[in-house]
Every structure is written in C-alpha cells, then in structure tokens.
Structure 1
Amino acid sequence: MDTISHASAPREVSRQQHAWLRTEVVGWRDAGIIDDVQAAAISDRYRPVSGSAASVLGRIMLLLGGGFVGVGLIWLVAANLDDLSPTARFVTVAALWLAVLIGGEVLAARRASAPLVGGIRLLAALGFGALIMQAAQSLQVPAYEPMLVGLWSLGAMLHAHLTRSVMPFLVGLGTGIQWWIWQPLWTDGTAMMGAVLSLGAGAIVAASLAVLCDGWARSFAWWWRLTAAALALAALFVAAIPGLYDGFDWSLWLGLELGAALVLTAAAVALTVRRSDRAWIEPVGALAVLIVAALLALWDVDTDVRDVGFDQWAHAALSIIAYVALAVGLLALDVLRQHRAISWIAMAALVTFTTFQSFAVFVPIVTGAWLFVVLGVVFLGTGTLVDRARRRVARSLDPVTGQGTDEGAQR
C-alpha cells in the first residue's frame, strides 16, 4: 500500500476535507482497522489545497486581467473602430479571438498554471462576445437584440464543454440567464407573468442540467444547482408581489422555454431512475415551484395599504409559507449535495422576502419608529429561525458531520 501511495502525486482536497480525513484515519488506526504504515499511506495520498495570500492574489490578478482585456475588446467594438472598414474590423477582432482561444489551449496542453489557463480562457469567452457584436454591426443588426446575447452564451458554453473549463462556462451561464429572461419579455408585453414563467422555467432547466451533469462535470453541476436555487427564489419572489398582474398572452418564446423545461425534466428523471437515486426530486421540485409561483401571480389582490383586507393577509401569509417551504427544501439540498452556497442564498432571500412582505402588512398598522422596531424583530426572528432550521436539517440528514463543504466552488 505504501508503494501505491507514492505512485502518483497527492490529490488536492479542501482544508476541511483534509482535516476530516486526518481525524478519521486516526480513528481507524486506534480501532485497529489499519496499522501505522497504512495510515501514513492514506494520509500521503491527499494534501490540503494551497490557500496562501500570494496564490489567491495571483489567481485574482489573472482573472481580473482576462476580464479587463475581454471587456476592452467589447468596448473597442462598441466604439466601432472607426479607422477601419467593417470587414477589417471583423477580421481584426476574429484574429484576436482565435489567437487567445488557441493560445489558451496550447498553455493547457503544456500544463501551464491553472489560474493562467483559466484567465486566458475567460478572455477567449469574452472575446467571442466582441466577435458576435462586431459581426452584428457589420450585418447592420441592432446591438440591443437579445438574440446576440443568446449566441454569445451558446458559443461560450460550447467552449466550456469542449475544454471542461469553468471560466467560459460562467460567461455562458451569465449571458444565458440574461438571454433566457430577456428574450420572451422582448416579444411579450405582459411583463410580470412572463417574468414569473421565464424564471420558473429557468429554474427547472438549471436543476435538470445539474442532475444530467452529475458524474461527468461536477463543477458545472455545482453552478447549475446554485443557478436553479437563485431562479426559483426569484420566481417566487416576483410572483408574491401583489397587484402586478395585468393579464397574460402566450408568446412563442415562453412556450419554447416551458417545452424545454419539460423535456429536460423528463430526461433527468429517466436518468435518475436508471441510476436508482433520488436526484429526480430536484427538477420535479423546481416544477412545483413554478406551479405555485404561477398561482400566486394569478391571484389578484388589492394593493391599497390604507385598508388591508383578508385577501391581502391571506396572500402574504401563503406567500411566506411557500417561500419558507422552498428555503427549507434548499437547506436540505445543501446537506445532501454539500453545497453551502445554496444555504446562504436561501437564507438571504428568505430574510429579504419576509421583510419585503412585512412592509405590505405592517405599514398600514404601525408607523414611524415602531415600524423599524417591528421590521427589525421580523428580520432577526426570520434569520434565527432559518439558521436553526438549517442546523436541524443538517443533523437529521447527515448525523455524522452535520455540515457540508464547498468543493464545487474551488473547481
């Protein structure tokens, strides 16, 4: 076993994981499960990830450098590069993008520093956006068309999946979310209901893709889960705002988004059934959130804060109950998937949502300084209850450790 332990370089794990492993190895050795040689061999196979200030600063500088250069390229396109003809502008931007794209993969093939490769790939993903905008200018396409952002996202996602790189993936994810929400609202005048359906469908798609990415691209799955949580929370938040519903007309893009959500949900459920796990709960849960959000959005209540009626109280109460249920579900997902970022975003969203709803309920009743006192109590109470709920869920679902890790965020 000692020979095996030195056959390859030690694998880097988070400091929390390394500390847990050392504790477990000592326990196994004391229980007689392994001897001293085997304990040393196991410990030598892992090392904590480097987290010195210099290395962290270096990574930040490389990523910032790639980001600034990418934004600069897009800015140059926005300035139209007036000294060049449209064809020359497009060729110049395309040449710069290809040089950065190929250069990043050459560095990756030569096993260059991971932050350096990530920074170059980030620059290539941003440069592709500049290429899209320049092509649109050459073809006299308006720069404010949402389809351009969609094409940018598609190219960045293709780059990310071909190279298994997180930086292009994040560019594609950010631009993709923007396009997903913007495109149906671009053609549909009923903004509120369209936004609710688009956000809810986006949560379903993200949750389904997280399940589909498990096992072959865990870093992508980590970000898809975080996106699904954020979009689900946003959909329910918007749906709970009273008085914004003003009718609804179906649009082609909303239909396509809902259709894509259902297809991906079916694919994710079929895959999890074949794997005999319960990950199907994630896309199905997101579908349930969409249904609840749509019903809340359709519930038209009076918005006159001078006379709060039963329907307003009921709407606010049911909205809070639904939001608490979603937050608790996300806390459980954090424990099961070891995804601490989901808990943080769920707690922050729940406290913000409860405080927002409190304004609708308490403003007509109390005023002045007492209003701030009441809202402060609601804020503190909600935060305390959510934190206690997370700890209880953690103990019930993971009695050994009661806590998760942020492994995906370090990839």
Structure 2
Amino acid sequence: MVRTHVSRRRRVHAGPMDTHPTAPPRPIPGSQFDWLYREIAAWQASDLISGDQAAAIRAGYRRVDGRRFSLGRLMLGLGGCFVGIGLIWLVAANLDELSPMLRFGVVALLWLLFLAGGEALDARGSSRPLVGSVRLIAALVFGAAVFQAAQSLQVPAYSPHLVGLWGAGALVHAYAVRAVSPLLVGVAAGTVWWVWLSLWDEPSAAAAVASIGAASVVAVSLAVVHDRGLHRFGFVWRSVGALLSLVALFAAAVPYATTDDFAWSPWLVGALVVAGVLAVAAVALSSGIARLEPVSAAAVLGMAAVLVAWDTGTDTSNIDAADWAHAGVSVAAYVLVAVGVAALGIVRDNPVLTLLAMLGLVVFTTFQSFAVFAAIIQGAWLFVVLGLVFLATGFLFDRARRGLADVLDTDSANPEGDAR
C-alpha cells in the first residue's frame, strides 16, 4: 500500500515538471531556498522522489540573497519622493518670477521628461529601483502640473477635484506601464479624494467612517480582481484595503465618533453603492478563500457603523457601564479584525498585512487604555493595567497566528486532503 501511494505521488509530481522543461528558474529568498533544499533531500531519502526529479525541482528555483528593501532602493525611493514633493512645493510657491503659462509649460515639460525618462531607462534594462524612482517622480510631478494648470486657469486649488484628477492620472500611468510606484501615488491621491469629497458638503465623523470603510471595500475588491493577473497591483490594493479597514474601525471606536451632524450626501450614497457593486463582482469572479475578503471588508464597515451609531456620550471623565460595554466590544472587534488581517498576511504571503495588524493593534490598545482606563486609574497603576492588556492581547494574537500557521502547514503537507 505504501509503495502504491509513493508511485502515485511520483507520477503526480513528475507530470508538471515535464510539461514545462524550459521554464526560467523562479527567484526565492535565501531562507526559503535553504528550506526547499532540505525538504528535497528528505523526500529523496524517503524514496518519495528520484534523483532526476530532485534535480528538476532544484533547477526550477534560484536563490536570491539580496534584501528586497536594500539601502540603494530606499535612497532611490526617498530621493524620488523628495524631488517630486519639492517640485510640487515650487508650484505652490507660485514661481512669481515667471508668467502663469510659462510656469505651467515648465512643470509640464518636467513631467514629460520624467515620464519619458522612466520608460527609456526601462527599455534599456536599467535597475528596477532606478526605473521605479523616476516613474515615482513623474507621478508626483503630474500632480504639480495639475495644480499649476489650475492656478493658470484661476481655478481654486483647495478642491478635492484636483486631487482626484492627480490620482486618476497616476493610476492611468501605473496601468499603462504596469508599474507599482505610480500606483502608490494614484492610490494615495485617490483615497484622499474619495474621503475628502464625502466630507465636502456634509462633514461629520460618521461620514468619515462610512467613506473610509467604503474605500476599504473597494480596495479589497480590486485586490481580489487583480489576483487574476496583476499580482503586484493586488498586493498594493490588498495592503491599502486592510489599512483602511483598520483605520475605519479605529475611528468608529473613538468616543467622539457619533452621528451628530451626519447627513446623507449623494456622493456618500454613490460611494457605498460602488463599494457594494465591486464587492459583489469580486465575489463572483473569485473562488475559495478570496471570496471571503470583500465580504469581510464589508462586515468591518458594518461593525464600524454599529459602533458609531452606538452613542454612549463623549464625556470621558464619567465612565459608566455603557462606556465599558462600548469599549469592550470595540476592543474585541478590533482584535478580531487585526487577527484576520494578520492571518490574511500569512495566507497571501504579504508581510505588510502582518505589520499593519501588529501596529494597528498596539496603537488601538494604547488609545483605548488611556481613553477608558485613564479616567479611573491614575499614575503607575495605569501603566500596569496597560501592560497587562498588552500581554493578554499579544498572547491571544500570537496563539491565533501560530494556530493558523500550523493549519496551513498541515494542509500543505496533506495534498490529498485538499483534493477531497
């Protein structure tokens, strides 16, 4: 029975290797590369694979020892940000020595030069960090061109529409050249435009929570759709969606986030409708665990709405049972969402999600402790209680993370269970 099972596994694993004999080696980090070599040696020693199959598996991967975020990449990214922001600052200073049309011509020329320069460097096969830095500058300078054009046409610069135009241009740039750096600019500007426009006519805490939560649903839904091809873009959209979900739930848990001065605006209604349509489309186009992502983002939005509607008052100097219940539900919900984001980071191999979950949990726990406990616990005892809250939350967080990792390891070691 054992020999039959082994021979079947040999045939299953031999097929894919034979169908792609000329596939280029896949780069993987050094730690994963070492682990893979140890596992291959163990499989070969257990007679699960032959020597030829072991060699074929090894040939499909190559070791990458360099760190993804090297010093050179960091400096190029920071340099691109400073140059782009500096040019925007120059536009904001109006460049009084030049006429409005000449100022716009100079900024537009700079944008075209950086735009063409990035693609020329890419065509020459230059390093990806350098190309990304130049593309980042081009996306930032496009914003300067937008604001300078507004000044030349006597359009008020303090408007969300200009930020939206900047974000749209950066997104077009990103998708046209399949580049992540202008995508980051486009997503950042687009998020600011989305939330700002929701608060333009009827500003309120509830509207801010609703718009941020709707933006998280949109980002997560787009991430699921991008998993069908543009995985790097899906990485960005998923990270942004998780961040917005954590921010929306954090804002909803603040005692001052109430429904006071809230009014439905056409844009806010439209934003929620767009988020719902994209979530349904993402669920329809995906399968498996991916379907749970937009549903979970929508659930976080619903929980945030409940916390905002649950008004217990804004007087933090007089904490009653309702305040304790509101804080308890907020903490439980936030810990649950943070664990879910960390779990998604493990499943998707996205360390940014795990980092966001940990940082968000630390900031939220600290805020809630000082907002609720500080009214009745003073001095050194406040820090003792805060430390105990951190220990308990960290213990539960780590247990959940380890449990998920064990489940994933068990599933990967039992492919027949997955097939069933």
TM-score normalized by the length of structure 1: 0.89
CA contact (8 A) 2:251 2:257 kept: no
Q: Deviations over 1:2-54 (max 9, x none)?
A: 9999956543222233223222322332233443344334323322224179x
The correspondence of residues 7-406 of structure 1 with structure 2, limited to 5 A, is 10-51=25-66, 56-190=70-204, 192-245=205-258, 246-272=260-286, 276-399=287-410
State the partner residue of 1:408: none
**Residue type of the partner of 2:92?**
A
Change (3 A) 1:93 1:298: same
**Mapped partners of 2:105, 2:79: distance in 1:** 23
**Mapped partners of 2:28, 2:212: distance in 1:** 35
**Mapped partners of 2:333, 2:67: distance in 1:** 43
Q: Deviations over 1:177-221 (max 9, x none)?
A: 22222221122232x101110111011001100100003111111
Q: Secondary structure at the match of 2:299?
A: helix
CA contact (8 A) 2:316 2:371 kept: yes
**Mapped partners of 1:293, 1:196: distance in 2:** 7
Change (3 A) 1:34 1:176: same
1:398 Cα offset (Å) = 3.6
**Mapped partners of 1:362, 1:386: distance in 2:** 22
Q: Secondary structure at the match of 1:47?
A: strand
CA contact (8 A) 1:90 1:135 kept: yes
1:58 Cα offset (Å) = 2.6
**Mapped partners of 2:366, 2:84: distance in 1:** 39
**Mapped partners of 1:108, 1:261: distance in 2:** 35
**Mapped partners of 1:10, 1:259: distance in 2:** 44
Change (3 A) 1:4 1:250: closer
Segments of structure 1 that go 5 or more residues without pairing to the other structure are 403-411
CA contact (8 A) 1:128 1:156 kept: yes
**Residue type of the partner of 1:210?**
A
Q: Secondary structure at the match of 2:288?
A: coil
CA contact (8 A) 1:347 1:387 kept: no
CA contact (8 A) 1:67 1:123 kept: yes
**Residue type of the partner of 1:270?**
A
1:359 Cα offset (Å) = 2.6
Q: Deviations over 1:263-284 (max 9, x none)?
A: 1111101102xxx423121111
Q: Deviations over 1:69-110 (max 9, x none)?
A: 222221221222222221121122112211211121122122
Segments of structure 2 that go 5 or more residues without pairing to the other structure are 1-13, 414-420
Q: Deviations over 1:330-360 (max 9, x none)?
A: 2332232222321222122223223322234
C-alpha root-mean-square deviation of aligned residues, in Å? Answer: 2.5
Runs of 4+ more than 4 Å apart: 1-9
CA contact (8 A) 1:5 1:42 kept: no
**Mapped partners of 1:388, 1:309: distance in 2:** 32
In terms of mean alpha carbon deviation, does 344-353 or 292-301 score higher? Answer: 344-353
CA contact (8 A) 2:342 2:357 kept: yes
In terms of mean alpha carbon deviation, does 345-354 or 313-322 score higher? Answer: 345-354
CA contact (8 A) 1:351 1:383 kept: no
**Residue type of the partner of 2:91?**
V
